[in-house]
Structure 1
Amino acid sequence: MAKHRAPRRSRFTFLVPSLTAAAVSTGLAFPVDAQDIDKLISQMDEVSTAAGAKNEEVKELENDIERAQSNLDRLKDEAESANAAAARAIGAKNGYQSDVNGIAVSKYRNVQKDPLITTLESGNPQTVIDRASYLGSISRNTERTLGELQDANQTAAQMANAANIALAEAEFYRNQLDSKHRKLNEERSELEEQVRNLENQVNSLDGEAREEWLNKNGPIKNPQPGLALNPAASGVVGAAMSKIGAPYGWGAAGPNQFDCSGLMFWAYAQNGKSIPRTSQAQLAGGQSVPLSDLQPGDIIGYYPGVTHVGMYIGNGQVVHASDYGIPVQVVPYNSMPIQGAARY
């Protein structure tokens, strides 16, 4: 199998080389000297890596924000329900307290007399006994009910308090994500100029330089997927392979343009399976598999920080969306520095 190229640096050194920038700005053709071409490709590769990594970082953060907002909405509903339950519990207790007060007055008026006088006045001792027993029963039931309402009131208040605390924490976390998102967007805006320069550089390549860029990962002509594909793997591999030749698009997930993780996301979606959207999450979200046990359909992560992914198709090959100006293609799976593999 082909040996992979030297790993692209993962540091974000967003410097567009003066050589290539000058060539773009003046409209001059790029030099065809082999050494100059290698230098140009290396410099463009670095900017492309930075741009791709930043896009992946922003997409991952946007996914985090979406999940945080969903959690925040759920906690808001729970807090509203808990506060309403607490208000109902307080209302029930206060309403019953009014009844208790009325019973207390009745008990005072009817039972606080001397038993002998009460007996003589009634003319029937049994009536007095029955009345006292009845009022005593009411008193015990009232005290028990009042205690139950008090307990329910305390429980509801505790639940409302816990819900409000969780809501406040979720709002704080959401605000933190918003702040980070604004910062990342500022960084991405700064990077957009670099990306535009990169696109201009790629679009201005011709002859040997363009071939060098297109073939930098050693694309395989007439690739042959592995023969022993299970139905699920055959579906996702077939979907990804159907997009060979489709152009690269920053942050694109089909159906006509793709970035690396977008191609994986789209291929699995065509087979009714949802996977994470970003390269890092795609590697982390599946079942980790050793390279010695790779199967068609597995996702392989590349470069430090997993800034790139491709789909293993068997026979030591991977289909991927590589860089701007390079269509979806099949390359040797070890043509880039591997960070791990995941199975879905």
Structure 2
Amino acid sequence: MVSGRTKQAIRAFLAVAVLMALAISIPPAGAHPTDDSPTAKLEHLADLSRRSEQTTEALHNAGLDLEAKIADQHATETVAAEDRTALDLARAEVARFKPTVDKLAQANYRGARTNRLFALMVSDSPQQMLDQMVLLDVLGAQTARDVEGFKVATAAAAEVAAASQRSAEVAARAAEEAQVLRDDLERRKSELESEIAGVLDAFDALSDEEKAVLAGTPFPPGLDADKILQHLVPGNGGGALRAALTRIGDPYVWGATGPNQFDCSGLVVWAYKQVGKTLPRSSQAQAQGGVPVSRDNLQPGDVVIFYDDASHVGLYAGDGNIVHASTFGVPVKVQSMASFPFHSARRY
């Protein structure tokens, strides 16, 4: 008969064995697939490449956010500097009137008399009395103006000081937010470097035949650049598509915007630049610009965005196709847009 202590030991051993088996059976993120078939290796590379593309486009978007925040920071710092200058001027204005107000306060404290009765009492002659009364009137009017000016300047200085404090706080917050975005950008760059290393390792593991399968053909069967160009309509989109077609065969490189290598949004930016239009750098930002277009009303050259997170983009090439820089190991090509989940389209 097995003792209770022995049963507990057996159960503990079995639990550890199960956990070890599970740990062995679950590959770490980025690890090569256990199935070494061409299909499995290509699927593994596609998964890694997809993740790196998502990070790349998120990195571009974070860069745009940082640029906007830095511009905001500079604007708020300019306002704060202007407010500090205004505050210095307001304080100088207060200082201009302060001596008169201080003298008036001291005179009142000492019991000085500055009215017409005092002039009558201290005058030795009618003319002297008139002269003193005129002087007192002038001094009184000037003092009144100075006192009023002091009140106005003091109120203005207080208002400007409050505005200066607010603008300084806004500028400080903008600087802090910009730093947060900088830190996030560095984190995303580090992520991308790690993901790119995984893609390159997986690509190197492919045979020449598997790399050829991955690259595919520049155009779908029966389609070439001439056929696409026959259906171009005048305008920015047509010109951008014409430019993009000249880059067929160029390699995909993370973060590249041409002229001889591209990532997906980089190709779109470059193509539209050839017709004098500047598009945002990320696929997510490109999905927010231009004019919305339904899938049924696409025209050659329209910007087509894919995936729920708007992380891939290409230019519509007609007949349900796009020209795009798809992923590492695949040159710029024309491909059916049915290969990707449609998100939206924009016309620039």
Q: CA deviation at 1:237?
A: 1.2
**Percentage of matched positions with identical amino acids:** 26
Aligned to 2:14: none
Quick one: which amino acid aligns to residue 341 of structure 1? A
2:19 is aligned with 1:17: no
Higher relative contact order (Cα pairs below 8 Å, separated by 6+ residues): 1
1:111 maps to which of 109, 114, 130: 114
Aligned to 1:121: 124
> Under a length normalisation based on structure 1, what TM-score does the superposition of the two structures give?
0.82
2:186 is aligned with 1:182: yes
Quick one: which amino acid aligns to residue 60 of structure 1? N
Q: CA deviation at 1:91?
A: 2.4
Structure-to-structure mapping, 1:92-241, within 5 angstroms: 92-102=93-103, 111-112=114-115, 114-115=117-118, 117-118=120-121, 120-124=123-127, 126-201=130-205, 204-207=206-209, 209-215=210-216, 219=220, 221-223=223-225, 224-225=227-228, 227-241=231-245
Classify 1:141/1:18 alpha carbon distance in 2 versus 1 (closer, same or farther; 3 Å): same
2:46 is aligned with 1:45: yes
Question: How far apart, CA to CA, are the structure 1 residues paired with 2:193 and 2:241?
Answer: 35
Work out whether residues 218 and 333 of structure 2, in 8 Å CA contact, stay in contact via their aligned partners in 1: no
Q: CA deviation at 1:338?
A: 0.6
Classify 1:53/1:178 alpha carbon distance in 2 versus 1 (closer, same or farther; 3 Å): same
Question: How far apart, CA to CA, are the structure 2 residues paired with 1:273 and 1:116?
Answer: 82
Question: How far apart, CA to CA, are the structure 2 residues paired with 1:219 and 1:19?
Answer: 32
Work out whether residues 251 and 258 of structure 1, in 8 Å CA contact, stay in contact via their aligned partners in 2: yes
Quick one: which amino acid aligns to residue 68 of structure 2? R
2:273 is aligned with 1:290: no
Q: CA deviation at 1:69?
A: 2.1
Question: How far apart, CA to CA, are the structure 1 residues paired with 2:253 and 2:131?
Answer: 94
Aligned to 1:73: 74
Work out whether residues 218 and 248 of structure 2, in 8 Å CA contact, stay in contact via their aligned partners in 1: no
Classify 1:214/1:46 alpha carbon distance in 2 versus 1 (closer, same or farther; 3 Å): same
Aligned to 2:276: 272
Secondary structure at the counterpart of residue 111 of structure 1: coil
Q: CA deviation at 1:135?
A: 2.7
Classify 1:126/1:256 alpha carbon distance in 2 versus 1 (closer, same or farther; 3 Å): same
Question: How far apart, CA to CA, are the structure 1 residues paired with 2:296 and 2:121?
Answer: 97
Classify 1:305/1:281 alpha carbon distance in 2 versus 1 (closer, same or farther; 3 Å): same
Question: How far apart, CA to CA, are the structure 2 residues paired with 1:228 and 1:183?
Answer: 42
Question: How far apart, CA to CA, are the structure 2 residues paired with 1:215 and 1:57?
Answer: 27
> What does the per-residue CA deviation read over 1:141-172, in whole Å, with 9 as the maximum and x for residues that have no partner?
11221122112212221221111011111122
> Under a length normalisation based on structure 2, what TM-score does the superposition of the two structures give?
0.81
Question: How far apart, CA to CA, are the structure 2 residues paired with 1:54 and 1:336?
Answer: 18
Work out whether residues 317 and 332 of structure 1, in 8 Å CA contact, stay in contact via their aligned partners in 2: yes
Work out whether residues 118 and 128 of structure 1, in 8 Å CA contact, stay in contact via their aligned partners in 2: no
2:248 is aligned with 1:255: no
The alignment yields a C-alpha RMSD, in angstroms, of 2.7
Work out whether residues 82 and 163 of structure 1, in 8 Å CA contact, stay in contact via their aligned partners in 2: yes
Question: How far apart, CA to CA, are the structure 2 residues paired with 1:90 and 1:294?
Answer: 63
> What does the per-residue CA deviation read over 1:277-306, in whole Å, with 9 as the maximum and x for residues that have no partner?
111111122322211121222111112212
Secondary structure at the counterpart of residue 121 of structure 1: coil
Larger Rg: 2
Q: CA deviation at 1:231?
A: 2.7
Q: CA deviation at 1:333?
A: 2.7
Quick one: which amino acid aligns to residue 206 of structure 1? D
Work out whether residues 236 and 272 of structure 2, in 8 Å CA contact, stay in contact via their aligned partners in 1: no
Question: How far apart, CA to CA, are the structure 1 residues paired with 2:141 and 2:201?
Answer: 89
Secondary structure at the counterpart of residue 56 of structure 1: helix
Classify 1:241/1:118 alpha carbon distance in 2 versus 1 (closer, same or farther; 3 Å): farther
Q: CA deviation at 1:93?
A: 0.7
Mean Cα displacement is larger for which, 302-311 or 140-149? 140-149
Question: How far apart, CA to CA, are the structure 1 residues paired with 2:331 and 2:191?
Answer: 27
Segments of 5+ residues of structure 2 without an aligned counterpart are: 1-27
